[in-house]
Chain A
Amino acid sequence: MARIVQFENVGLRYGHGPETLSDLSFSLDEGAFYFLTGASGAGKTSLLKLLYLAQRPSRGSIRLFDADVVTLPRARLPGFRRRIGVVFQDFRLVPHLSAFDNIALPLRIAGVSDSQLRPPVEEMLHWVGLTDRAHALPPTLSGGEQQRVAIARAVIGRPELLVADEPTGNVDMEMATRLITLFEALNKLGTTIVVATHDYNLLGKVAEAQMLRLERGRLAAPPGLMAAPVRPRALD
């Protein structure tokens, strides 16, 4: 299986502070499903930021889609970012755009015309159960609804890599199961999925999922298939 992501001795520090991530070396296979776990402050969000190109590492090398993204010119980053779907922990919806427009945003950025983007956006709204809330603004949506909009926005462009930071943190178990099913469906279409989560219950819902566990900014174990029953030690 081809590798979509390759980290070699990657370290990340913010400013002059201590290293948040240290000596990360691992690779992610194309089309695989990964859960990223670890205690609060272990560096999950920082690792995801490196994956969705919001940060460059302080040291080491990262290859993404067969390109060295550490030395990649800034002007070429947007092309790579369009191949990555991101579900942010804090959703990061545009507050003055409706749910419809927030979901449509990646397509509009990619240059899809308004007439062409309507069917896929409606399809995503239906899939995340927000058809009736299409014209609602994010501040009027509940936390769970906002999260579903964020997820719909992340997957609408059929990304090659989907990175999700605690995507089920604000939804009930039924919706969490539906979302994970959605991720699985995407995964079956070839999208590589990386989901950071604290939710033990999620870990057992994807049979083929592998787990990456971070401890204090270091990889506790290389990616590997999870043994059932899933209950990693370091989770809080």
Chain B
Amino acid sequence: MAGAQRVAGSQPYSAGSLLPKGRLTGPMPWVITIMMFLTVLASAAGLALDHAARSLSADVSDRITIQIAEADPEARGRAVSRIVNLLGETEGAANITIVPEATLVAQLAPWLGTDLKISDIPVPALVDADFVAPQEQRTAKLAALDQAVKAINPQARVEPHATYLAPMARLVRGVGILSFAVVALMVAATCAVVVLAARGAHATHRGTIDIMHMLGATDTQVVRLFQERMTRDALFGAVLGFAGATAVILLVGRSIAAVASDLVRSVSLPGYTWFLLPLLPVLGVAVAWLSARVTLQRALRRSL
């Protein structure tokens, strides 16, 4: 076997890939792009809504408003003074604020016009305060406070903010949980896509796999070959989907920042989001890697 010649003159030799060049997994990278795009958006929505729900809960849980719906302005003024004094002496009450008439006028302006004189109609007086009490005693203490203010003026009543905003907070939290459920479904769908792609790649390249097996290749060698390519395809899709979703999140964030509503602005991304969201493409690629590995190993075990 002597007398070997250099092959093809000066043409440098480069090892050919055992699998054909180009995409191995058909449309899988593009499907993963879409999946990752939606997963990142759903996760961001979930995190933002969860953050909003927590903020709403924190904001409203301790806040109360005492409404004095007394038609006589003098009696109403006296009642306000006495109620403020009462709150000052009540354990757990703080940050007591009489809502200024100007604020009430401004709030009623859309319905009653701007030339409203507060003395012309019996607009209730409002006193805001924080009212902190242990959760198990809260209802009883609020009832006692309500009785106390009614003793000052029968038209006065205590209104905990939680009564109005807690259902909203629950709704926001519920939608947030739904977002995380969507993320879980996306992960499952990504697994399914990768499994189908891996099976397809295995079927398409069955001939090459058989040759490799007959030449002594181990399952690990064959799996590694496919896995590298499939992981690369998945990485492409994950990065592209993440980049697109991040751009959308930033645009939506700018739009939300421009909206005056406190409720809408409460839907903001907490700082840790920017640590969690970049983990999604990493998780996506890891899921693809593992799905491809398990699928191919199972498929190979069916042959000799």
Do A and B come together as binding partners?
A: yes
Shortest CB-to-CB span from A143 to chain B, Å, is 18
- The answer to whether A55 and B4 touch across the interface, beta carbons within 8 angstroms, is no
A126 to B7 CA separation, bound complex (whole angstroms): 9
- The answer to whether A109 and B15 touch across the interface, beta carbons within 8 angstroms, is no
The residues of A that contact B219 with a CB separation of less than 8 Å are 75
- The answer to whether B15 and A52 touch across the interface, beta carbons within 8 angstroms, is no
- The answer to whether B16 and A96 touch across the interface, beta carbons within 8 angstroms, is yes
Contact with A along B4-42 (1 / 0, CB 8 A): 111110010101111111000000000000000000000
The residues of A that contact B139 with a CB separation of less than 8 Å are none
- The answer to whether B8 and A132 touch across the interface, beta carbons within 8 angstroms, is yes
A106 to B21 CA separation, bound complex (whole angstroms): 20
A61 to B138 CA separation, bound complex (whole angstroms): 83
Size of interface on B: residues with Cβ below 8 Å to A: 32
The residues of A that contact B6 with a CB separation of less than 8 Å are 122
- The answer to whether A131 and B215 touch across the interface, beta carbons within 8 angstroms, is no
A30 to B211 CA separation, bound complex (whole angstroms): 25
Interface residues of B in 227-250 (CB under 8 A from A): none
A101 at the interface (CB under 8 A from B): yes
Q: Within the complex, which residue of B8, B214, B217, B304 is in contact with A74, where a contact is CB–CB below 8 Å? A: B304
Q: Within the complex, which residue of A92, A104, A121, A185 is in contact with B207, where a contact is CB–CB below 8 Å? A: A92
A174 at the interface (CB under 8 A from B): no
The residues of B that contact A121 with a CB separation of less than 8 Å are 7
The CB with the most chain B CB atoms within 10 A, among A74, A94, A101, is that of A94
A209 to B215 CA separation, bound complex (whole angstroms): 26
A100 at the interface (CB under 8 A from B): yes
User: Who on chain A is nearest to B21 by CB?
Assistant: A96
- The answer to whether A106 and B304 touch across the interface, beta carbons within 8 angstroms, is no
- The answer to whether B3 and A126 touch across the interface, beta carbons within 8 angstroms, is yes
A110 at the interface (CB under 8 A from B): yes
A127 to B301 CA separation, bound complex (whole angstroms): 37
Shortest CB-to-CB span from A103 to chain B, Å, is 10
Q: Within the complex, which residue of B3, B208, B301 is in contact with A94, where a contact is CB–CB below 8 Å? A: B208
B216 at the interface (CB under 8 A from A): yes
- The answer to whether B207 and A56 touch across the interface, beta carbons within 8 angstroms, is no
B212 at the interface (CB under 8 A from A): yes
The residues of A that contact B217 with a CB separation of less than 8 Å are 78, 109
A104 to B216 CA separation, bound complex (whole angstroms): 13
Q: Looking at chain A's contact residues, is the secondary structure mostly helix, strand, loop, or mixed?
A: helix
Q: Within the complex, which residue of B4, B11, B212, B301 is in contact with A126, where a contact is CB–CB below 8 Å? A: B4
Shortest CB-to-CB span from A80 to chain B, Å, is 8
A220 at the interface (CB under 8 A from B): no
- The answer to whether A100 and B13 touch across the interface, beta carbons within 8 angstroms, is yes
- The answer to whether B15 and A86 touch across the interface, beta carbons within 8 angstroms, is no
- The answer to whether A81 and B1 touch across the interface, beta carbons within 8 angstroms, is no
User: Who on chain B is nearest to A111 by CB?
Assistant: B221
Shortest CB-to-CB span from A63 to chain B, Å, is 18
Shortest CB-to-CB span from B101 to chain A, Å, is 84
A86 to B18 CA separation, bound complex (whole angstroms): 19
A132 to B21 CA separation, bound complex (whole angstroms): 24
- The answer to whether B213 and A122 touch across the interface, beta carbons within 8 angstroms, is no
- The answer to whether A78 and B16 touch across the interface, beta carbons within 8 angstroms, is no
The residues of B that contact A109 with a CB separation of less than 8 Å are 212, 215-217, 221
- The answer to whether A94 and B18 touch across the interface, beta carbons within 8 angstroms, is yes
Query: Could you list some 8 contacts between A and B, CB below 8 A?
Result: A52-B214, A75-B218, A96-B20, A105-B211, A106-B216, A108-B15, A134-B8, A135-B7
Known: A94-B211, A122-B5. 6 other contacts (CB 8 A): A79-B216, A81-B215, A82-B216, A100-B7, A121-B7, A131-B8
Which A-B residue pairs are the 9 nearest by beta carbons?
A: A82-B216, A134-B7, A123-B4, A81-B216, A101-B16, A122-B4, A96-B20, A78-B218, A109-B217
Q: Which residues of B contact A (CB under 8 A)?
A: 1-8, 11, 13, 15-21, 207-208, 210-219, 221, 301, 304
